[in-house]
Amino acid sequence: MNEALKVKNLCFNYDENKETLVNLSFEVKKGDYVTLIGHNGSGKSTLAKLLTYLITPSSGEIYVNDLLLNEENIGKIRRTLGIVFQNPDNQFIGSTVEDDIAFGLENRNIPLNDMQKLVKEYSKKVNMENYLKKEPSELSGGQKQRVAIAGILALNLKIIIFDEATSMLDPEGVEDIKHLINEMREKDPELTFISITHDIEEAYLSDYCIILNKGRIYKEGKPNEIFNEIDDIKRIGLDVPFVLKIKNALKEKNIFINDDIKTIEDLAKNICK
Amino acid sequence: MQIEVNNVTYTYNKKRFDEFEALKGISLKIDKGEFVALVGKTGSGKSTLIQTFNGLILPTSGYVKVDDFIVTGDKKLKRQLLKKESKEVQILNKKKAYLLRKKVGMVFQFPEYQLFADTILKDVMFGPLNFKVEENLAKEKSINALKSVGIDESYFERNPFELSGGEKRRVAIAGILASEPDILILDEPTAGLDPNGKKEIMNLIKDIHKEGKTIILVTHDMDVVMDYVDKIFVLNDGKLLEETTPNILFNKENILDYSLEIPTFYKFKNLLKKYGFCKDLSKINEFNELIDIICEDKND
Amino acid sequence: MTNIFGKYTQYNTIIHKCDPRIKILGLILIMVICFLPYGSNYMNQLAILAVLGVVIVSLMIIAKINFLDFFKSLKVMWFMVIFLLIINVFIPYGNNEHVMISFSNGYTLYWEGVLNTFMVVFRLILMIALTMILTSTTTPMDITYGFEWYLSPLKIFKFPTQVVAMTISLALRFIPTLLEQANRIMKAQKSRGVDYNRGFLSKKIKSITTLIVPLLVSCFSISDDLSLAMEARGYDPYGKRSRYRILKFSIYDLVSILFFIILLGAFIYLSVITNHYGVNIIETLFPLTEGVTF
């Protein structure tokens, strides 16, 4: 059981003559950080909804931890898989931070004493322990997304889907969430992150990247490999990640830089060495 | 001088427990035909400031002068100004507000939320009709505006709610352009768009600027600032920190103190400096120049 | 963005610390006190209501209520005042005896009518003050929980109190969001030349649609997102849920219960002696005024 998620021949269409997703198949390994990228309208968000059973596929199967996603198993699957949506305000259900973190716990019928402990513990993990009594209108977008993440972690979910969770945040909020994801992954190597995004820089840093275009998988693989096919990337209007751009430009001048280097920080270190 | 901001302060919820001073004495000037950006982190007062430009917010003290309109909420100052200034200058009051708003077009963040009419053309015509433009002329202007934002004629009679996010935003911008404002203010026009959508909107704004309009942009996106803007005003905590150009700003040593998101290119340059890159990078503003200098360094 | 009854203020007074259920009970009890009959003597009625007024004003001071806000919220009462005046003054009834003004066309204004109106308006003002004390010292969420507790006996009849409480709390949760949205839409439309304050009725109706339509659209998109988020987090309206918020009584609540009981007792006593036995309190307390009747 190495795959957290398996998608087989998945199809979906909202109405009969327009196919939103066509025959998608891919696998996500446990503990990986996978990005799904593509333009608006490439079917990314539909896929996110399918993965959480908020809509049902027209055909094809999805397996979460080898369990088929259907009406019967959805209760079990919701105990392993959580999703953070795009709009930070519209997914904030509780009236205060602590109520929102507790919402999922209440749904699981967890006793009050345990809930109080969990809320405290996980608010600390996302650095929101000093905001427990705050209302959503007093929080920034990034803080609201932190709360959403705490709500998922408190339920001990091992697969987290980000559906463009940073696209409505200011730069500070985006950095904040990216930082938090790295921290989470270091602390718990079992966590699987599936991030649906249009941020190519984020995609470049992930373990595995799937590019969607017009409802089909356009390319998938290690970011270093797929982004190196520059012509293909540019054909569908995507840009090349900055680090890779520098690497390629240097390669032309016979300066070679290791494939492992992915962040601009490491790149700068390497060049100055 | 088209816009003159003179020592403006603004306090939300004055004399209440949640009183908040958003602007703490800002003075700046914007010339006709300039393409400027107001930058600063969330809560720095950018959005409040631009709303004084078309009189949606009246400064608690100080005044904003847009052409010959004076916007202020300070009664004492109003009386003084009325005495001193020549007769052509008008103090903004409720009756005259629409004259100023015709001159200063304001596109809010996520403008697609302001659409309401049952056809796209009707929605775009709404602005000009409010500003007392005659029906036929309003229609003509609206059609031009829609064409300029790249909305095809076959869409005109369709319902705006059927459009995609990016198209809705362009229709909303057309709704402001149709009133033919001299000054166009845009609050985060690229928020929530994918890279292609961003490029489309920014190129559209660039074209509008070429027609001689003054553009004022409020944005977090420093890549946009880098690629399109001539002049930057940096705001922090309700005060103006600096008036500068993108190249100067991003090359500053203490740029991190401004708590701005720097374009990746400059971030990388700063990191190179941090890790002891030997060559002088301060004059490097192009990608190719940077590559060349790295090669030089490596070959030495 | 204050609504008519003022919004929650974050102070830490005794009244803030009270259990919402006690506060709701207290609110209802004092409202009852407000409308108890206090005999037919207007001076007596005024005196008793004035005492009640002092009690309520002191509660307001304890709760640190901004009096400016309070007077602002009274603005909406003008319509009521005029309406009541017309009913009470121009439609004479019962034992009107004391003529105030006689019009040439036969209409007569009676002191009784004016005083009756004054009494009703005074009671209404007290009620608004009371509501304001509740809303500005209790978070909307706590008020919801309080009401849910009172509704809980209905569970026997399979009434879904949990679902109702969740619906109300979600509605309350999104009021600030929608207000902000409305504010933003209004500003955007104002920038397109709409004037919400001026113009004739037909024009005003049109202006309002430019606010309502976009607001409805965003309402739908919020509820869409919200229902997805709730479902994804495993919400089942009829399933068994535990509660994070549990209301607990504290020592303050005991004190306040005693306070309300004494208050209620005192005013019922007053009501009985004035109304039933016709005792004139002012005369009894201040024999000096003996013989001065109204």
Picking from B96-100, B229-233, C65-69, C96-100, which range would have the lowest pLDDT averaged per residue?
A: C96-100
Torsion, Cα of A83, A84, A90, A91 (10° steps): 60
At B50 the pLDDT is: 95
Q: Is the domain of C173 the same as that of C266?
A: no
- The interface pTM score, or ipTM, of the predicted complex is 0.89
Q: Are B201 and B8 in contact (CB under 8 A)?
A: no
In a domain, C37, yes or no: yes
Residue with tokens 């004037």: C195
Q: Which chains touch C (3 or more CB pairs under 8 A)?
A: A, B
Q: Which is more confidently placed, A112 or C71?
A: A112
Q: Is the domain of C39 the same as that of C144?
A: yes
- End of a domain among C202, C232, C262? C232
Mark B45-82 as b/e (b = at least 16 C-beta within 10 Å): bbbbbbbbbbbbbbbbbbbbbbbebbbbbbeebbeebe
In a domain, C132, yes or no: yes
User: To the nearest whole angstrom, how far is the Cα of A227 from the nearest Cα of chain C?
Assistant: 33
* % of chain B with per-residue pLDDT over 70: 98
**Is residue B87's pLDDT more than 70?**
no
Residue A192, helix vs strand vs coil = strand
Q: Tokens at residue B183, please?
A: 């000054």
Q: Which of B102, B108, B111 sits opposite C193 (nearest CB)?
A: B102
Which parts of chain A fold into alpha helices (H)?
44-51, 74-77, 97-107, 112-125, 141-154, 171-187, 200-205, 223-228, 230-235, 242-252, 264-272
Residue with tokens 């916007």: B71
* % of chain A with per-residue pLDDT over 70: 100
Q: Is the domain of C100 the same as that of C143?
A: yes
**Is residue A37's pLDDT more than 60?**
yes
Q: What does R_g of chain B's alpha carbons equal in angstroms?
A: 22
Q: Which is more confidently placed, B13 or A84?
A: A84
**Is residue C198's pLDDT more than 80?**
no
Q: Is the domain of C101 the same as that of C208?
A: no
**Is residue B29's pLDDT more than 90?**
yes
At B17 the pLDDT is: 67
Q: Is the domain of C28 the same as that of C119?
A: yes
In 3D space, the residue among A29, A32, A18, A26 whose CA is nearest the CA of residue A50 turns out to be: A26
Residue with tokens 């007392």: B132
Distance from C-alpha of C68 to C-alpha of C71, rounded to nearest angstrom: 5
**Is residue C119's pLDDT more than 60?**
yes
Q: Is the domain of C211 the same as that of C266?
A: no
Q: Which of B15, B114, B161 sits opposite C189 (nearest CB)?
A: B114
Region C33-39 average pLDDT:
86
Distance from C-alpha of A212 to C-alpha of A164, rounded to nearest angstrom: 14
User: Which residues in chain B touch residue A255, judged by CB atoms under 8 angstroms apart?
Assistant: 294-295, 298
- Residue B42 and residue A245: Cβ atoms within 8 Å? no
At A1 the pLDDT is: 63
Instruction: For strands A159-163 and A192-197, give the pairing.
Output: parallel
At A17 the pLDDT is: 73
User: To the nearest whole angstrom, how far is the Cα of B96 from the nearest Cα of chain C?
Assistant: 11
User: Which residues in chain A touch residue B197, judged by CB atoms under 8 angstroms apart?
Assistant: 40
Region A63-82 average pLDDT:
90
Q: Is the domain of C120 the same as that of C54?
A: yes
- Residue B51 and residue C187: Cβ atoms within 8 Å? yes
Domains and CATH numbers, chain A: 3-237 (3.40.50.300), 241-273 (no CATH)
Which residue of C145, C221, C244 is the best one to mutate when testing the A interface, meaning the one whose CB has the most A CBs within 10 A?
C244
**Is residue C4's pLDDT more than 50?**
no
User: For residue C76, with 0-12 CB atoms within 10 Å meaning exposed, 13-18 middle and 19 or more buried, which class applies?
Assistant: exposed
Q: For the whole model, what pTM was predicted? A: 0.82
In a domain, C111, yes or no: yes
Q: Is the domain of C144 the same as that of C165?
A: no
At B103 the pLDDT is: 92
Q: Tokens at residue C16, please?
A: 């803030």
At C2 the pLDDT is: 41
Cα angle value B148/B153/B156 (rounded, 5°): 100
Picking from B33-37, B56-60, C89-93, which range would have the lowest pLDDT averaged per residue?
A: C89-93
- Residue B111 and residue C190: Cβ atoms within 8 Å? no
In 3D space, the residue among C154, C160, C84, C150 whose CA is nearest the CA of residue C122 turns out to be: C84
* Model confidence band, residue A144 (pLDDT cutoffs 50, 70, 90): very high
User: Which residues in chain C touch residue A79, judged by CB atoms under 8 angstroms apart?
Assistant: 234
The number of C-beta contacts closer than 8 angstroms across A and B is 78
At A25 the pLDDT is: 94
The number of C-beta contacts closer than 8 angstroms across B and C is 65
**Is residue A21's pLDDT more than 60?**
yes
- End of a domain among C232, C263, C280? C232
In a domain, C181, yes or no: yes
Hey, what amino acid is at C49?
A: L
Region C140-145 average pLDDT:
84
**Is residue B66's pLDDT more than 80?**
yes
Q: Are C99 and C112 in contact (CB under 8 A)?
A: no
In 3D space, the residue among B27, B102, B97 whose CA is nearest the CA of residue B56 turns out to be: B97
At A143 the pLDDT is: 93
Picking from A221-235, B251-265, C166-180, C214-228, which range would have the lowest pLDDT averaged per residue?
A: B251-265
Distance from C-alpha of B213 to C-alpha of B145, rounded to nearest angstrom: 14
**Is residue A135's pLDDT more than 70?**
yes
At B53 the pLDDT is: 94
In a domain, C22, yes or no: yes
In 3D space, the residue among B247, B237, B267, B230 whose CA is nearest the CA of residue B37 turns out to be: B230
* % of chain B with per-residue pLDDT over 90: 51
- End of a domain among C207, C232, C257? C232
User: Which residues in chain B touch residue C218, judged by CB atoms under 8 angstroms apart?
Assistant: 113
* Model confidence band, residue B165 (pLDDT cutoffs 50, 70, 90): confident
Region C199-205 average pLDDT:
79
Q: Is the domain of C209 the same as that of C257?
A: no
**Is residue B85's pLDDT more than 70?**
no
The rounded mean pLDDT for chain B is 89
In 3D space, the residue among A92, A18, A85 whose CA is nearest the CA of residue A52 turns out to be: A85
Q: B residues 243-272 near A, CB within 8 Å?
A: 259-261, 264-265, 267-268, 271-272
- Residue C181 and residue B113: Cβ atoms within 8 Å? yes
* % of chain C with per-residue pLDDT over 70: 92
Q: Is the domain of C29 the same as that of C57?
A: yes
Q: Which residue of A has its CA nearest to B269?
A: A268
Distance from C-alpha of A159 to C-alpha of A182, rounded to nearest angstrom: 15
Q: Is the domain of C225 the same as that of C273?
A: no
Q: Which is more confidently placed, B165 or B238?
A: B238
Distance from C-alpha of C125 to C-alpha of C67, rounded to nearest angstrom: 13
**Is residue C9's pLDDT more than 90?**
no
Region A241-262 average pLDDT:
88
In a domain, C155, yes or no: no
* Model confidence band, residue A138 (pLDDT cutoffs 50, 70, 90): confident
Cα angle value B84/B85/B91 (rounded, 5°): 115
Q: Which residue of C has its CA nearest to A161?
A: C232
Q: Which is more confidently placed, C156 or A221?
A: A221
The rounded mean pLDDT for chain A is 90
Domain span at residue C132? 14-149+248-289
**Is residue B172's pLDDT more than 90?**
yes
At C5 the pLDDT is: 47
In a domain, C179, yes or no: yes
At A116 the pLDDT is: 94
- Residue B220 and residue A171: Cβ atoms within 8 Å? yes
* % of chain A with per-residue pLDDT over 90: 45
In a domain, C279, yes or no: yes
Q: Is the domain of C43 the same as that of C127?
A: yes
pLDDT, tens digit (0-9, with 9 covering 90-100), for A187-213? 888 899 999 998 888 999 999 999 999
Question: How many domains in chain C?
Answer: 2
